[in-house]
Structure 1
Amino acid sequence: MPRIHCALPLAAGARLALPPGAARHVQVLRLQPGDGITLFDGRGGEYQAVVEHMGRSEVRVEVGAHRPVECEAAVAVHLAVGMPANERMDWLVEKATELGVASIQPLVTERSVLRLSGERAQKKQAHWQGVAIAACEQSGRNRVPAVHPVQAFPVWLAGSAPAGLVLSLRDGSQPVVPAAGDRTEITLLSGPEGGLAPPEEEAAFARGWTPVRLGPRVLRAETAPLAALAVLTLAAA
Protein backbone atom coordinates (compact mmCIF):
# COMPACT_ATOMS: atom_id res chain seq x y z
CA MET A 1 0.00 0.00 0.00
CA PRO A 2 1.48 3.41 -0.93
CA ARG A 3 2.83 5.49 1.97
CA ILE A 4 2.32 9.24 1.58
CA HIS A 5 3.33 12.13 3.79
CA CYS A 6 0.50 14.59 4.51
CA ALA A 7 1.48 18.07 5.68
CA LEU A 8 -1.86 18.46 7.49
CA PRO A 9 -2.66 17.15 11.00
CA LEU A 10 -4.49 13.84 10.67
CA ALA A 11 -7.21 12.33 12.86
CA ALA A 12 -9.19 9.10 12.60
CA GLY A 13 -12.55 9.64 10.92
CA ALA A 14 -11.59 12.91 9.21
CA ARG A 15 -12.53 13.60 5.61
CA LEU A 16 -10.15 16.02 3.96
CA ALA A 17 -8.57 17.27 0.75
CA LEU A 18 -4.92 16.31 0.56
CA PRO A 19 -2.38 19.14 0.29
CA PRO A 20 -0.90 19.65 -3.20
CA GLY A 21 2.21 17.51 -2.75
CA ALA A 22 0.34 14.51 -1.40
CA ALA A 23 -2.43 14.93 -3.98
CA ARG A 24 0.09 14.89 -6.83
CA HIS A 25 1.59 11.71 -5.41
CA VAL A 26 -1.83 10.01 -5.47
CA GLN A 27 -2.47 11.27 -9.01
CA VAL A 28 0.89 10.05 -10.29
CA LEU A 29 0.12 6.59 -8.87
CA ARG A 30 -3.20 6.69 -10.78
CA LEU A 31 -5.14 5.62 -7.70
CA GLN A 32 -8.92 5.50 -7.91
CA PRO A 33 -11.78 6.01 -5.43
CA GLY A 34 -11.86 3.05 -3.07
CA ASP A 35 -8.11 2.47 -3.19
CA GLY A 36 -6.28 2.34 0.13
CA ILE A 37 -3.24 4.40 1.13
CA THR A 38 -1.18 4.94 4.28
CA LEU A 39 -0.80 8.53 5.47
CA PHE A 40 1.56 10.01 8.05
CA ASP A 41 1.84 13.61 9.20
CA GLY A 42 5.19 13.48 11.01
CA ARG A 43 3.71 13.62 14.51
CA GLY A 44 4.10 9.88 15.06
CA GLY A 45 2.42 6.76 13.80
CA GLU A 46 0.44 6.38 10.60
CA TYR A 47 -3.15 6.22 9.39
CA GLN A 48 -4.93 3.96 6.98
CA ALA A 49 -7.02 5.98 4.53
CA VAL A 50 -9.27 5.46 1.51
CA VAL A 51 -9.42 7.65 -1.58
CA GLU A 52 -12.95 9.09 -1.87
CA HIS A 53 -12.59 11.50 -4.77
CA MET A 54 -10.03 11.91 -7.56
CA GLY A 55 -10.24 15.23 -9.40
CA ARG A 56 -7.85 17.10 -11.64
CA SER A 57 -7.05 19.59 -8.89
CA GLU A 58 -8.30 17.87 -5.73
CA VAL A 59 -7.94 14.51 -4.05
CA ARG A 60 -10.16 13.77 -1.07
CA VAL A 61 -9.68 10.93 1.39
CA GLU A 62 -11.35 9.42 4.43
CA VAL A 63 -8.86 8.86 7.25
CA GLY A 64 -9.13 5.57 9.10
CA ALA A 65 -7.60 4.22 12.27
CA HIS A 66 -4.31 5.41 13.70
CA ARG A 67 -1.53 2.84 14.02
CA PRO A 68 1.24 3.71 16.53
CA VAL A 69 3.98 2.35 14.28
CA GLU A 70 7.49 3.72 14.86
CA CYS A 71 10.88 2.70 13.53
CA GLU A 72 13.08 5.51 14.83
CA ALA A 73 16.67 4.91 15.88
CA ALA A 74 17.41 4.42 19.56
CA VAL A 75 20.11 7.10 19.27
CA ALA A 76 19.05 10.48 17.87
CA VAL A 77 21.93 11.61 15.63
CA HIS A 78 21.87 15.22 14.45
CA LEU A 79 24.12 15.51 11.39
CA ALA A 80 25.93 18.78 10.68
CA VAL A 81 27.69 18.49 7.34
CA GLY A 82 29.83 20.62 5.09
CA MET A 83 27.78 20.29 1.92
CA PRO A 84 29.35 18.07 -0.75
CA ALA A 85 29.14 19.32 -4.33
CA ASN A 86 26.89 18.43 -7.25
CA GLU A 87 24.13 15.89 -6.54
CA ARG A 88 25.97 14.26 -3.66
CA MET A 89 24.09 16.30 -1.06
CA ASP A 90 20.78 14.95 -2.39
CA TRP A 91 22.14 11.42 -2.03
CA LEU A 92 23.45 12.15 1.46
CA VAL A 93 20.10 13.52 2.65
CA GLU A 94 18.24 10.54 1.19
CA LYS A 95 20.50 7.90 2.71
CA ALA A 96 20.86 9.68 6.05
CA THR A 97 17.07 9.74 6.33
CA GLU A 98 16.86 6.03 5.56
CA LEU A 99 19.47 5.37 8.26
CA GLY A 100 17.44 7.26 10.86
CA VAL A 101 19.07 10.70 11.14
CA ALA A 102 17.21 13.02 13.55
CA SER A 103 18.02 16.26 11.70
CA ILE A 104 20.43 17.63 9.09
CA GLN A 105 22.28 20.96 9.25
CA PRO A 106 23.89 21.96 5.91
CA LEU A 107 27.04 24.05 6.43
CA VAL A 108 29.22 26.30 4.29
CA THR A 109 32.81 25.74 5.38
CA GLU A 110 36.20 27.07 4.29
CA ARG A 111 36.74 24.22 1.81
CA SER A 112 33.15 23.97 0.57
CA VAL A 113 32.76 23.80 -3.20
CA LEU A 114 28.99 24.28 -2.91
CA ARG A 115 28.32 27.78 -1.57
CA LEU A 116 24.71 28.81 -1.07
CA SER A 117 23.07 31.92 0.29
CA GLY A 118 19.86 33.91 0.01
CA GLU A 119 17.03 32.63 -2.17
CA ARG A 120 19.16 29.87 -3.70
CA ALA A 121 19.89 28.46 -0.25
CA GLN A 122 16.19 28.58 0.65
CA LYS A 123 15.25 26.71 -2.52
CA LYS A 124 17.89 24.06 -1.85
CA GLN A 125 16.68 23.64 1.73
CA ALA A 126 13.11 23.11 0.50
CA HIS A 127 14.37 20.63 -2.11
CA TRP A 128 16.35 18.64 0.47
CA GLN A 129 13.37 18.61 2.83
CA GLY A 130 11.38 17.06 -0.02
CA VAL A 131 14.12 14.46 -0.50
CA ALA A 132 13.87 13.60 3.21
CA ILE A 133 10.08 13.27 2.98
CA ALA A 134 10.35 10.92 -0.02
CA ALA A 135 12.94 8.83 1.84
CA CYS A 136 10.56 8.55 4.82
CA GLU A 137 7.76 7.40 2.51
CA GLN A 138 10.04 4.71 1.07
CA SER A 139 11.73 3.54 4.28
CA GLY A 140 8.74 3.34 6.62
CA ARG A 141 9.69 6.25 8.88
CA ASN A 142 6.78 8.26 10.27
CA ARG A 143 8.83 11.15 11.63
CA VAL A 144 10.48 13.41 9.06
CA PRO A 145 13.93 14.76 9.98
CA ALA A 146 14.20 18.54 9.70
CA VAL A 147 16.65 19.88 7.13
CA HIS A 148 17.68 23.20 8.67
CA PRO A 149 18.53 26.41 6.77
CA VAL A 150 22.05 26.60 5.38
CA GLN A 151 24.49 28.30 7.77
CA ALA A 152 28.11 29.40 7.65
CA PHE A 153 30.22 27.14 9.85
CA PRO A 154 31.47 29.84 12.29
CA VAL A 155 27.93 31.15 12.84
CA TRP A 156 26.55 27.67 13.41
CA LEU A 157 29.38 26.64 15.75
CA ALA A 158 28.95 29.76 17.89
CA GLY A 159 25.31 28.90 18.50
CA SER A 160 25.43 25.11 18.25
CA ALA A 161 24.06 22.54 20.65
CA PRO A 162 26.28 20.92 23.33
CA ALA A 163 29.57 19.61 21.97
CA GLY A 164 29.39 16.43 19.93
CA LEU A 165 31.65 14.34 17.71
CA VAL A 166 33.81 15.56 14.81
CA LEU A 167 34.94 13.18 12.07
CA SER A 168 38.68 13.83 11.88
CA LEU A 169 41.88 12.32 10.48
CA ARG A 170 44.07 13.89 13.17
CA ASP A 171 46.23 11.70 15.41
CA GLY A 172 44.50 10.77 18.64
CA SER A 173 40.99 10.59 17.21
CA GLN A 174 38.86 8.01 19.01
CA PRO A 175 36.77 5.24 17.43
CA VAL A 176 33.31 6.68 16.90
CA VAL A 177 31.20 4.15 18.84
CA PRO A 178 33.21 4.17 22.10
CA ALA A 179 33.39 7.97 21.91
CA ALA A 180 29.60 8.16 21.70
CA GLY A 181 29.26 6.14 24.89
CA ASP A 182 25.73 5.62 26.14
CA ARG A 183 24.36 8.97 24.91
CA THR A 184 20.89 8.84 23.38
CA GLU A 185 21.35 12.12 21.47
CA ILE A 186 24.48 13.13 19.57
CA THR A 187 25.51 15.85 17.14
CA LEU A 188 27.91 14.56 14.48
CA LEU A 189 29.99 17.07 12.49
CA SER A 190 31.55 16.17 9.15
CA GLY A 191 33.40 18.30 6.62
CA PRO A 192 33.07 18.71 2.84
CA GLU A 193 35.53 17.49 0.20
CA GLY A 194 38.95 17.84 1.81
CA GLY A 195 37.46 17.88 5.30
CA LEU A 196 37.24 20.75 7.73
CA ALA A 197 40.13 23.21 7.58
CA PRO A 198 42.54 23.01 10.56
CA PRO A 199 41.29 26.32 12.06
CA GLU A 200 37.72 24.99 11.88
CA GLU A 201 38.69 21.78 13.64
CA GLU A 202 40.57 23.71 16.30
CA ALA A 203 37.57 25.98 16.85
CA ALA A 204 35.38 22.92 17.42
CA PHE A 205 37.90 21.29 19.76
CA ALA A 206 38.15 24.51 21.75
CA ARG A 207 34.42 24.22 22.39
CA GLY A 208 34.75 20.68 23.68
CA TRP A 209 34.00 18.64 20.55
CA THR A 210 35.61 15.18 20.36
CA PRO A 211 37.59 14.05 17.29
CA VAL A 212 36.53 10.61 16.09
CA ARG A 213 37.58 8.25 13.31
CA LEU A 214 36.00 5.42 11.33
CA GLY A 215 39.06 3.34 10.48
CA PRO A 216 42.26 3.38 8.43
CA ARG A 217 40.68 4.34 5.08
CA VAL A 218 39.91 7.85 3.87
CA LEU A 219 36.21 8.01 2.97
CA ARG A 220 34.56 10.51 0.64
CA ALA A 221 32.72 13.52 2.04
CA GLU A 222 29.32 11.96 1.40
CA THR A 223 30.36 8.47 2.58
CA ALA A 224 31.98 9.24 5.94
CA PRO A 225 28.96 10.76 7.73
CA LEU A 226 26.72 7.96 6.47
CA ALA A 227 29.14 5.30 7.72
CA ALA A 228 29.28 6.98 11.13
CA LEU A 229 25.51 7.37 11.19
CA ALA A 230 25.06 3.70 10.36
CA VAL A 231 27.28 2.43 13.18
CA LEU A 232 25.71 4.84 15.69
CA THR A 233 22.09 4.09 14.84
CA LEU A 234 22.22 0.44 13.81
CA ALA A 235 24.52 -0.68 16.63
CA ALA A 236 21.85 0.44 19.08
CA ALA A 237 18.95 -1.12 17.17
Structure 2
Amino acid sequence: MPRFHCAIPLSAGTSLALPPGAARHVQVLRLQPGDAITLFDGAGGEYNATVERMGRSDVDVVVGAHHAVEREAARAVHLAVGMPANERMDWLVEKATELGVASIQPLMTAHGVLRLAGERADKKRAHWEAIAIASCEQCGRNRVPAIHPVRPFAGWLATADDSHARLILSLADGTASVTEVAATLGERSVQVLSGPEGGLSPGEEKDAVARGFAPLTLGPRVLRAETAALSTLILLGR
Protein backbone atom coordinates (compact mmCIF):
# COMPACT_ATOMS: atom_id res chain seq x y z
CA MET A 1 0.00 0.00 0.00
CA PRO A 2 1.42 3.45 -0.86
CA ARG A 3 2.79 5.33 2.18
CA PHE A 4 2.97 9.11 2.51
CA HIS A 5 4.42 11.43 5.10
CA CYS A 6 1.96 14.12 6.16
CA ALA A 7 3.65 17.02 7.95
CA ILE A 8 0.52 17.98 9.87
CA PRO A 9 -0.96 16.24 12.95
CA LEU A 10 -3.22 13.34 12.02
CA SER A 11 -6.32 12.13 13.85
CA ALA A 12 -8.58 9.16 13.12
CA GLY A 13 -11.96 10.02 11.68
CA THR A 14 -11.01 13.38 10.16
CA SER A 15 -10.82 14.65 6.58
CA LEU A 16 -7.95 16.81 5.35
CA ALA A 17 -6.14 18.13 2.32
CA LEU A 18 -2.75 16.50 1.89
CA PRO A 19 0.31 18.76 1.97
CA PRO A 20 1.61 19.66 -1.53
CA GLY A 21 4.40 17.08 -1.59
CA ALA A 22 2.21 14.16 -0.61
CA ALA A 23 -0.60 15.34 -2.93
CA ARG A 24 1.80 15.52 -5.85
CA HIS A 25 3.02 11.99 -5.10
CA VAL A 26 -0.56 10.67 -4.97
CA GLN A 27 -1.25 12.23 -8.37
CA VAL A 28 1.96 10.85 -9.88
CA LEU A 29 0.84 7.37 -8.81
CA ARG A 30 -2.53 8.03 -10.50
CA LEU A 31 -4.48 7.03 -7.42
CA GLN A 32 -8.25 7.52 -7.51
CA PRO A 33 -11.04 8.27 -4.99
CA GLY A 34 -11.64 5.17 -2.90
CA ASP A 35 -8.02 4.00 -3.07
CA ALA A 36 -6.41 3.01 0.24
CA ILE A 37 -3.17 4.62 1.42
CA THR A 38 -1.10 4.81 4.62
CA LEU A 39 -0.19 8.12 6.27
CA PHE A 40 2.30 8.95 9.02
CA ASP A 41 3.02 12.31 10.62
CA GLY A 42 6.26 11.49 12.44
CA ALA A 43 4.67 11.51 15.90
CA GLY A 44 4.55 7.71 16.02
CA GLY A 45 2.62 4.95 14.35
CA GLU A 46 0.69 5.16 11.09
CA TYR A 47 -2.88 5.65 9.88
CA ASN A 48 -5.10 3.95 7.37
CA ALA A 49 -6.55 6.52 4.98
CA THR A 50 -8.69 6.67 1.86
CA VAL A 51 -8.47 9.08 -1.05
CA GLU A 52 -11.69 11.12 -1.00
CA ARG A 53 -11.22 13.66 -3.79
CA MET A 54 -8.67 14.35 -6.52
CA GLY A 55 -8.37 17.96 -7.65
CA ARG A 56 -6.11 19.45 -10.30
CA SER A 57 -3.29 19.89 -7.79
CA ASP A 58 -4.88 19.01 -4.45
CA VAL A 59 -5.95 15.75 -2.84
CA ASP A 60 -8.43 15.24 0.03
CA VAL A 61 -8.33 12.12 2.19
CA VAL A 62 -10.29 10.59 5.03
CA VAL A 63 -8.07 9.43 7.89
CA GLY A 64 -8.89 6.03 9.36
CA ALA A 65 -7.61 3.95 12.24
CA HIS A 66 -4.27 4.55 13.91
CA HIS A 67 -1.80 1.66 14.29
CA ALA A 68 0.98 1.93 16.87
CA VAL A 69 3.56 0.42 14.55
CA GLU A 70 7.24 1.35 14.95
CA ARG A 71 10.16 0.12 12.90
CA GLU A 72 13.01 1.93 14.64
CA ALA A 73 16.46 0.55 15.38
CA ALA A 74 17.04 -1.05 18.76
CA ARG A 75 19.53 1.71 19.70
CA ALA A 76 19.28 5.38 18.70
CA VAL A 77 22.39 6.32 16.70
CA HIS A 78 23.01 10.00 15.97
CA LEU A 79 25.44 10.53 13.11
CA ALA A 80 27.70 13.58 12.83
CA VAL A 81 29.45 13.36 9.48
CA GLY A 82 31.97 15.34 7.50
CA MET A 83 29.96 15.82 4.32
CA PRO A 84 31.18 13.73 1.36
CA ALA A 85 31.16 15.51 -1.99
CA ASN A 86 28.84 15.33 -5.00
CA GLU A 87 25.85 13.00 -4.69
CA ARG A 88 27.44 10.87 -1.98
CA MET A 89 25.83 12.89 0.81
CA ASP A 90 22.42 12.34 -0.80
CA TRP A 91 23.11 8.63 -0.90
CA LEU A 92 24.33 8.63 2.70
CA VAL A 93 21.16 10.37 3.94
CA GLU A 94 18.93 7.94 2.04
CA LYS A 95 20.67 4.79 3.22
CA ALA A 96 21.24 6.01 6.79
CA THR A 97 17.50 6.67 7.05
CA GLU A 98 16.76 3.14 5.84
CA LEU A 99 19.18 1.78 8.45
CA GLY A 100 17.42 3.64 11.27
CA VAL A 101 19.61 6.67 12.00
CA ALA A 102 18.04 8.93 14.65
CA SER A 103 19.55 12.18 13.36
CA ILE A 104 22.22 13.46 10.98
CA GLN A 105 24.50 16.41 11.64
CA PRO A 106 26.29 17.54 8.44
CA LEU A 107 29.72 19.02 9.22
CA MET A 108 32.26 21.12 7.36
CA THR A 109 35.69 19.73 8.26
CA ALA A 110 39.32 20.44 7.37
CA HIS A 111 39.52 17.73 4.71
CA GLY A 112 35.96 18.10 3.45
CA VAL A 113 35.41 19.33 -0.10
CA LEU A 114 31.79 20.46 0.30
CA ARG A 115 31.42 24.00 1.71
CA LEU A 116 27.95 25.35 2.41
CA ALA A 117 26.65 28.51 4.03
CA GLY A 118 23.63 30.80 4.01
CA GLU A 119 20.86 30.13 1.50
CA ARG A 120 22.81 27.36 -0.22
CA ALA A 121 23.14 25.48 3.08
CA ASP A 122 19.42 25.94 3.80
CA LYS A 123 18.50 24.57 0.36
CA LYS A 124 20.75 21.56 0.82
CA ARG A 125 19.25 20.83 4.20
CA ALA A 126 15.72 20.99 2.75
CA HIS A 127 16.87 18.69 -0.05
CA TRP A 128 18.25 16.15 2.44
CA GLU A 129 15.09 16.36 4.55
CA ALA A 130 13.05 15.48 1.44
CA ILE A 131 15.36 12.52 0.78
CA ALA A 132 14.91 11.30 4.37
CA ILE A 133 11.12 11.59 4.09
CA ALA A 134 11.06 9.67 0.81
CA SER A 135 13.27 7.00 2.36
CA CYS A 136 10.90 6.66 5.34
CA GLU A 137 7.95 6.31 2.97
CA GLN A 138 9.77 3.53 1.14
CA CYS A 139 11.25 1.58 4.04
CA GLY A 140 8.32 1.72 6.47
CA ARG A 141 9.72 4.02 9.16
CA ASN A 142 7.16 6.23 10.89
CA ARG A 143 9.65 8.65 12.43
CA VAL A 144 11.72 10.89 10.15
CA PRO A 145 15.30 11.43 11.35
CA ALA A 146 16.23 15.03 12.12
CA ILE A 147 18.58 16.63 9.59
CA HIS A 148 20.36 19.40 11.46
CA PRO A 149 21.69 22.61 9.88
CA VAL A 150 25.18 22.42 8.39
CA ARG A 151 27.81 23.51 10.92
CA PRO A 152 31.59 24.00 10.99
CA PHE A 153 33.30 21.22 12.93
CA ALA A 154 34.76 23.36 15.72
CA GLY A 155 31.51 25.18 16.48
CA TRP A 156 29.54 21.94 16.56
CA LEU A 157 32.08 20.14 18.78
CA ALA A 158 32.01 22.91 21.36
CA THR A 159 28.25 22.48 21.82
CA ALA A 160 27.77 18.78 20.98
CA ASP A 161 25.12 16.93 22.99
CA ASP A 162 26.84 14.99 25.78
CA SER A 163 23.80 12.92 26.77
CA HIS A 164 24.82 10.10 24.39
CA ALA A 165 27.78 7.74 24.40
CA ARG A 166 30.37 9.44 22.17
CA LEU A 167 32.31 7.54 19.52
CA ILE A 168 34.62 8.59 16.71
CA LEU A 169 35.74 6.49 13.75
CA SER A 170 39.54 6.37 13.73
CA LEU A 171 42.40 4.69 11.87
CA ALA A 172 44.79 5.06 14.82
CA ASP A 173 46.68 1.96 15.95
CA GLY A 174 45.33 0.16 18.97
CA THR A 175 41.80 1.48 18.56
CA ALA A 176 38.99 -0.75 19.85
CA SER A 177 36.72 -2.42 17.29
CA VAL A 178 33.15 -1.23 16.88
CA THR A 179 31.84 -4.65 17.94
CA GLU A 180 33.87 -4.54 21.16
CA VAL A 181 32.58 -1.08 21.96
CA ALA A 182 28.97 -1.99 21.11
CA ALA A 183 29.07 -4.80 23.68
CA THR A 184 29.76 -2.25 26.46
CA LEU A 185 26.98 0.22 25.61
CA GLY A 186 23.89 -1.60 26.79
CA GLU A 187 20.86 0.33 25.54
CA ARG A 188 22.52 3.76 25.57
CA SER A 189 22.01 6.05 22.61
CA VAL A 190 25.16 6.88 20.66
CA GLN A 191 26.67 9.91 18.91
CA VAL A 192 29.01 8.75 16.14
CA LEU A 193 31.48 11.16 14.55
CA SER A 194 32.70 10.20 11.09
CA GLY A 195 35.00 12.11 8.76
CA PRO A 196 34.72 13.00 5.06
CA GLU A 197 36.95 11.75 2.24
CA GLY A 198 40.44 11.73 3.76
CA GLY A 199 39.04 11.49 7.27
CA LEU A 200 39.20 14.03 10.05
CA SER A 201 42.41 15.98 10.47
CA PRO A 202 44.74 14.95 13.34
CA GLY A 203 43.77 18.16 15.15
CA GLU A 204 40.05 17.49 14.76
CA GLU A 205 40.41 13.94 16.01
CA LYS A 206 42.51 15.08 18.97
CA ASP A 207 39.94 17.75 19.88
CA ALA A 208 37.08 15.24 19.64
CA VAL A 209 38.86 12.75 21.91
CA ALA A 210 39.50 15.56 24.40
CA ARG A 211 35.74 16.23 24.37
CA GLY A 212 35.01 12.63 25.32
CA PHE A 213 34.71 10.85 21.95
CA ALA A 214 36.13 7.32 22.23
CA PRO A 215 38.02 6.12 19.11
CA LEU A 216 36.81 2.97 17.40
CA THR A 217 37.72 1.12 14.23
CA LEU A 218 35.84 -0.84 11.61
CA GLY A 219 38.86 -2.99 10.81
CA PRO A 220 42.06 -2.86 8.74
CA ARG A 221 40.49 -1.76 5.43
CA VAL A 222 40.15 1.93 4.57
CA LEU A 223 36.49 2.49 3.71
CA ARG A 224 34.89 5.35 1.81
CA ALA A 225 33.42 8.03 4.03
CA GLU A 226 29.82 7.04 3.35
CA THR A 227 30.58 3.30 3.65
CA ALA A 228 32.23 3.77 7.03
CA ALA A 229 29.30 5.76 8.42
CA LEU A 230 26.71 3.27 7.20
CA SER A 231 28.67 0.25 8.43
CA THR A 232 28.79 1.80 11.89
CA LEU A 233 25.03 2.30 11.83
CA ILE A 234 24.50 -1.36 11.01
CA LEU A 235 26.77 -2.55 13.81
CA LEU A 236 25.55 -0.17 16.50
CA GLY A 237 21.87 0.25 15.66
CA ARG A 238 20.67 -3.33 15.73
Please state which band the TM-score falls in when normalised by the shorter chain: over 0.9
Report the Cα offset of residue 207 of structure 1.
1.0
Letter matched to residue 165 of structure 1: L
Partner of 1:177: 179
How far apart, CA to CA, are the structure 2 residues paired with 1:125 and 1:226?
Answer: 19
Q: Is 1:233 aligned with 2:237?
A: yes
User: Does residue 164 of structure 1 match 2:166?
Assistant: yes
Match of 1:198 among 190, 198, 202: 202
Q: Residue type matched to 1:201 in 2? A: E
CA distance in 2, matches of 1:18, 1:183: 37
Aligned to 1:220: 224
Residue 99 of structure 1 corresponds to 99
Q: CA RMSD in A?
A: 0.8
Pairwise CA distance, 1:177:
2.6
When normalised by structure 1's length, the TM-score is 0.97
TM-score (structure 2 length as normaliser): 0.97
For residues 112-123 of structure 1, what are the structure 2 equivalents within 5 Å? 112-123=112-123
Aligned length: 234
Please give the alpha-carbon distance, in whole angstroms, between the structure 2 residues aligned to 1:60 and 1:215: 52
The unaligned stretches of length 5 or more in structure 1 are none
Give SS of 1:138's match: helix
**1:112 is aligned with what amino acid?**
G
Task: Give the drift of 1:95.
Answer: 0.4
> What's 1:71 paired with?
71
| Kept in 2: contact 1:106–1:150 (CA 8 A) | yes
Letter of the 1:147 counterpart: I
Q: What residue number does 2:191 align with? A: 187
- Inter-partner Cα distance in structure 2 for 1:208 and 1:26: 47
Q: Determine helix, strand or coil for the equivalent of 2:237.
A: helix
Asked if structure 2 preserves the Cα contact closer than 8 Å seen for 1:74 and 1:184, the reply is no
Q: Within 5 A, what are the aligned runs for 1:38-77? A: 38-77=38-77
What one-letter code is carried by the residue in structure 1 that aligns with 2:176? Q
Residue identity over aligned pairs, in percent, reads 70
2:43 and 2:53 map into 1 onto residues whose CA distance is 25
Segments of 4+ in structure 1 off by > 4 A? none
Take 1:102 and 1:15, find their aligned partners in 2: how far apart are those partners? 31
- Quote the residue 2:10 is aligned against: 10
8 A contact 1:78–1:104 mirrored in 2 = yes
Aligned-partner Cα distance in 2 for 1:183–1:115 = 35
* Secondary structure, aligned partner of 1:90: helix
